[in-house]
Amino acid sequence: MIDTSQLTESDLSARLVPVALGGEIMSYGFARCFHEAYGVKTMVISGVNVKFTSSSRFTDYRIDPAMGEGDEAIAAMLRRLGSELAEAGKVAVLLGSADWHVRSISKHKEELEQWFVVPYNDFALLDDITQKGRFYAICEELGMAYPATKLFDCSDADAELNTEGFTFPLIAKPSNSARYDTMSFAGKEKIYTVKDPADLRRVFNLLHEAGYDKELVVQDFIPGDDDAIRSLTTYSVEGGRVAAVSGGQVVLQDHSPARIGNPSCILLERSEQLIDDAKRFCEHVGYRGFANFDAKYDERDGKFKFFEVNVRPGANTWYMTLGGVNFAKLIVEDFVLGRQLDYQEAYAKKLYSLVPAKVVRDFVPNLEVRRKCLALFASGDAASPLDCAGDTLQHRFWAWLRASRQYEKYERYLGKAPDRR
């Protein structure tokens, strides 16, 4: 394991090298936060050129074909890179911006720790709690609310899809998202809304024939718009004690089929129930590092119901920094400097938004929520991780171009917006 016991904070600007796999918003958020905290560049390794990240002055962006060649190719690439960085006297922190990155890192954690600080749990724990069936079993044990759920084995083509006691429509999604995310086939969606038993059989057969051989989760459909969704991010130290927390009300989600459910706009908001439940979960399983919990408020019984835990910072974790706690510093303070972390909450009155104000104005149906968000835009308290005046002109152009396309995207998937001007 890499020895950081003699490292001091004054050494970090010269020796710290964050290494982030994947070029999307999560990696840009890492790079921005590491630069703001320590003045260092983040080495970003991706299979494609994500221009708002590659053009940033906060990144050393590298395109490597290994990123598209599977676990072993990535591990081999990291061995070479880790050896180079170690020989140069660098302290490299290895980070993943997607679930499959983190799984790949965790599978090879014992070996990679020769050269990298690896701020992730052992694979056995990671794999266990990311299986949705197992996650719900833990929720049941701890008294955490979750949607009524049934599991069906997609490896059995003739499985009986018994939905007795459920009312359609229902939600269907793969239990093993890491396995599913690597698959490509016609008709693939991140989450399926099934309208009747025949539609459920169609989705089940689609996944089975595509080669998905894990469980299909079928759940009660919780009514409510995007603003019923909640996101909660925690950071836990060794033993599972939560040392930092942030989260909020999702105002808008992405509605494109490949990204449906990914929050685009989050109003920072504290929920005692969600925080207490997440603390108990992390302590119960002995979780260390970042976790991101997805939940939804069920107006039928007044409870927040958990959908899943992501075993990494979520793509939108920059909202913790926006709320007052630089999320990259937590990793360094804990895993690199070995300091004790006092409990912190990051709930400044802010709006995290990857979309312009006009998208919120025209596509958020809840009048009260819409007014809150527009007031934060007007007061300068709405921000995106990509909106960084200190970054290059090229980065700011690509960030602007991405934002400028959002209105058309929401019209494409939600239909023409009512005129609320």
pLDDT tens digits, residue range 63-115? Answer: 999 998 888 999 999 999 999 999 999 999 999 998 889 999 999 999 999 99
Minimal CA–CA distance to 89: which of 195, 11, 202? 11
**Mind giving me the DSSP string for 21-57?**
ES-SHHHHHHHHHHHHHH--PEEEEESS--HHHHT-T
> Average pLDDT for residues 176-204, to the nearest whole number?
90
Rg (CA), the chain: 21
Please, what is the Cα angle at 189 between 178 and 359, to 5 degrees?
110
Tell me what pLDDT residue 395 has.
98
> Average pLDDT for residues 228-242, to the nearest whole number?
97
CATH superfamily assigned to domain 226-414? ATP-grasp fold, B domain (3.30.470.20)
Q: Is 338 left (phi over 0), alpha (psi -120 to 50) or beta?
A: left
> Average pLDDT for residues 357-362, to the nearest whole number?
96
User: CB–CB of 30/95 below 8 Å?
Assistant: yes
Please, what is the Cα angle at 201 between 199 and 203, to 5 degrees?
70
* Sheet of strand 149-153, all strands in order from the earlier edge strand to the far edge: 149-153, 215-220, 170-174, 192-194
Q: How far apart are CA 206 and CA 200, in angstroms?
A: 10
> Which tokens belong to 285?
């399983």
Enumerate helices (H) and strands (E) in the chain, giving the number of each: 17, 17
> Average pLDDT for residues 278-298, to the nearest whole number?
97
| DSSP-derived 3-state class of residue 337 | coil
| DSSP-derived 3-state class of residue 158 | coil
Specify the range with the lowest mean pLDDT, choosing from 48-57, 64-73, 255-264, 361-370. 255-264
> Average pLDDT for residues 390-400, to the nearest whole number?
98
Tell me what pLDDT residue 126 has.
95
The residue count for the chain: 421
Quote the DSSP letter at residue 343: P
| DSSP-derived 3-state class of residue 361 | helix
Q: How far apart are CA 171 and CA 227, in angstroms?
A: 18
Q: How far apart are CA 58 and CA 36, in angstroms?
A: 9
Domain ranges for the chain, please list them: 9-118, 148-220, 226-414
Strands 170-174 and 192-194: antiparallel
Chain position carrying tokens 């937590």: 330
> Which tokens belong to 201?
């059989």
406 or 256: whose pLDDT is higher?
406
Mean pLDDT (the chain, rounded): 94
257 or 141: whose pLDDT is higher?
141
> Which tokens belong to 293?
């919990």
**Mind giving me the DSSP string for 70-93?**
-HHHHHHHHHHHHHHHHHTT-EEE
- Percent helix / strand / coil, the chain, rounded to 5: 40, 25, 35
User: CB–CB of 163/150 below 8 Å?
Assistant: yes
Tell me what pLDDT residue 420 has.
61
Specify the range with the lowest mean pLDDT, choosing from 2-6, 400-404, 412-416. 2-6
User: CB–CB of 38/332 below 8 Å?
Assistant: yes
* Tens digits of residue pLDDT in 156-172: 999 999 999 999 999 99
> Average pLDDT for residues 43-55, to the nearest whole number?
97
Does pLDDT of 258 surpass 80? no
> Which tokens belong to 146?
């979750």
CA 317 to chain centre: 7
Which fold would CATH assign to domain 148-220? Dna Ligase; domain 1 (3.30.1490)
Does pLDDT of 226 surpass 70? yes
For domain 9-118, which CATH number applies: 3.10.129.10, 3.40.50.720, 3.30.365.10, 3.30.470.10?
Answer: 3.40.50.720
Phi and psi torsions of 34, nearest 5°: -65, -40
Cα dihedral 189/415/299/142 (nearest 10): 20
> Which tokens belong to 264?
């685009």
* Tens digits of residue pLDDT in 140-154: 999 999 999 999 999
| DSSP-derived 3-state class of residue 273 | helix
- Tell me the C-alpha to C-alpha distance, in Å, between residue 258 and each of 46, 56, 187: 19, 26, 10
